[in-house]
Amino acid sequence: HVPTIAIVGRPNVGKSAIFNRMAGRRIAIVHDEPGVTRDRISAPCKITDHACKLMDTGGIGARLSDGFAEQVAAEADIAMKTADLILFVLDSRDHLTPIDQSIADHLRKSEVPVMLLLNKADHEKQDLNLGEFSGLGFNDYIFLSAAHGRGFSELASRLDSFL
């Protein structure tokens, strides 16, 4: 069994950028327009010595007109059903949004372990909103910058203990 790691989160937090860094290739499209990745994309990846499968769930909230709450629920549920570990991505420079809260509400019911990735922490001295994120009810978190690569070796060693 190859462990599956799902990347979930609202549009524009950097899921695809994180996916590409972890996969070591540019597979998912990184885009300024929220919701550009409509499909779930997966790729093999290697974390320290472990082979695993990475899944980018870019469709969350992609199209408000399709019934937004349903989409959030559906994507989170797919991740909860298929993944061995869920990486829940948030924008560390932004405040929590109702979408973040809604995803968190779903993931809290999960038996799959959830790790928070507080992305866009590009600089060490950045003003980050850790207080808000710690209120979500998940214990594991890590600051990352998919743009600069900060935090990824730490992420790999943390994931290693799950795999």
Query: Annotated binding residues, as ranges?
Result: 9-16, 56-60, 119-122
Nearer to Mg ion, 50 or 53 (CB): 53
Q: Does 71 bind ligand GDP (CB under 6 A)?
A: no
Nearer to Mg ion, 14 or 151 (CB): 14
Gap between the Cα atoms of 113 and 122, Å rounded: 26
Q: Does 102 bind ligand GDP (CB under 6 A)?
A: no
Q: Find the part of the chain contacting ligand GDP (CB under 6 A) among 42-50, 74-82, 104-112, 139-147.
A: 139-147
**CA angle, corner 83, sides to 156 and 128, nearest 5?**
50
Gap between the Cα atoms of 92 and 82, Å rounded: 27
Nearer to ligand GDP, 75 or 80 (CB): 75
With CA atoms as reference, report the closest residue to 4 among 123, 144, 113: 113
Give the distance between the most distant pair of CA atoms in the chain.
43
Q: Does 145 bind ligand GDP (CB under 6 A)?
A: yes
Single residue of 37, 42, 57, 102 touching ligand GDP by CB under 6 A: 37
Gap between the Cα atoms of 34 and 15, Å rounded: 11
Single residue of 3, 4, 27, 30 touching ligand GDP by CB under 6 A: 30
